[in-house]
Amino acid sequence: MYNLVALPSHNLKSAKVFAAPTMQHSTTRGLQNTKRDLYWPAKEIHFQATHSMPPEKIEIFKSMESWAEKNLLKHLKPVEKSWQPQDFLPRAGSEGFYEQVKELIERAKELPDDYFVVLAGDMITEEALPTYQTIFNTLDGVRDETGVSLSPWAVWNRGWTAEENRHGDLLNKYLYLSGRVDMRQIEKTTQYLIGCGMDFKVENNPYNFFIYTSFQERATFISHGNTARLARKYGDNKLAHICTTIAADEKRHEIAYTMIVEKLFEIDPDTTVLALADMMRKKIAMPALLIYDGQDDNLFQNFSAVAQNLGVYTAKDYAENIEFFVGRWNVEGLTGLSSEGRRAQDFVCRLPSRIRRLEERAQEKANKAPTIRFSWIRYREVLV
């Protein structure tokens, strides 16, 4: 579902717009956990802001329900017309099953270790799906109040989750059959991540959340597209097909979330541009920021550095995404804003050029990085 590259933190006054590897107000319990009798998250986030949306804004999302039913739900596919993970994998019990598995293993041998680090990190992020639905259901004005609500927002959330669920399932089974990774270490990492939760910094605010998911879904579309490109380069066309198929799902979801924000700019431009500036200033917190395998406290930074080096998702991609959304939502052309809104508009419109300068520094740092051992690939070294 979600994966953005981690970039170094820089002092740009209020312009802290990157997925920085540092986790303020967080701790890694590490060995402390082994001394506890009770379960506790391996990493903690404190001082979270909540319920920042004024109560009267809830009515905006209530008023958008008919729009959402007409324009949002069409971006979900009926189950009977959807692909399933089994469509791409050897079918257990079928004639030729073992031969197909052997062919998959042989193709996987041509893929380098750093590719499997990225693929495993992407899969773990997708597998943390329960947290994404949980966060959606904390949002004021759009949450699923009963778990089976027929509100268009609730129907979208469950349908989106159901579609995304297939991504982790498919990549998980592929990695297992490939024989190239330590599945137990990967499974532990997934359990740690779900147990730690995620800090999107959206404050139960759907304005913030829908901006966040627009960026995330576009980033994931790009990321899976690049893993497909690399798989094809290494000669595994079937894996390339898997990654391309997942990327197509992410593209549909990107379109849907981008449309929501576009509608919010039409209905309530001042609040929306303030939310966009807010999400940029405090950094878009990555879903896998708290990723942990029981050993490496810097696992997210190391995984992101590998993705940067491979060109799966880079600082340049992030800069281009900022530029894309500023143009897509016509932020520069907004009118009728408050003085605070105009300041937010100016801040956001200046971001792309600032980010491009920092992208060059991030690339220089990546080129000087050392090698790191990853437990996911049985502690083999890769360049980060």
State CA 152 to chain mean position distance: 23
Amino acid present at 376: W
249 as an active site residue: the answer is: yes
167 as an active site residue: the answer is: yes
State the catalytic residue, choosing from 127, 250, 254, 278: 250
Contact 174, 183 (CB under 8 A): no
State the catalytic residue, choosing from 114, 122, 126, 182: 126
State the catalytic residue, choosing from 167, 199, 213, 314: 167
State the catalytic residue, choosing from 125, 131, 190, 220: 220
State the catalytic residue, choosing from 127, 140, 163, 217: 217
Residues 6+ apart with CB under 8 A from 369: 305, 309, 383, 384
83 as an active site residue: the answer is: yes
91 vs 290: CA distance, rounded Å: 35
* Beta strand residue intervals within the chain, DSSP E: 26-28, 43-45, 371-374, 380-383
State the catalytic residue, choosing from 122, 163, 249, 278: 249
253 as an active site residue: the answer is: yes
Length of the chain: 384
State the catalytic residue, choosing from 65, 67, 83, 323: 83
Structure tokens at 283: 């950094």
State the catalytic residue, choosing from 28, 131, 253, 293: 253
Q: Enter the DSSP assignment of 332.
A: G
Q: Enter the DSSP assignment of 16.
A: B
187 as an active site residue: the answer is: no
> Any known ligand binding at 126?
yes
State the catalytic residue, choosing from 127, 144, 163, 164: 164
Contact 194, 130 (CB under 8 A): yes
69 as an active site residue: the answer is: no
> Any known ligand binding at 75?
no
Whole-Å CA distances, 163 to 156, 244, 247, 363: 10, 15, 12, 34
217 as an active site residue: the answer is: yes
65 as an active site residue: the answer is: no
Residues 6+ apart with CB under 8 A from 135: 198, 200, 202, 209
Binding site members for Fe cation: 126, 164, 167, 217, 250, 253
**Active-site residue list:** 83, 126, 164, 167, 217, 220, 249-250, 253
Q: Which residues are annotated as a binding site?
A: 126, 164, 167, 217, 250, 253
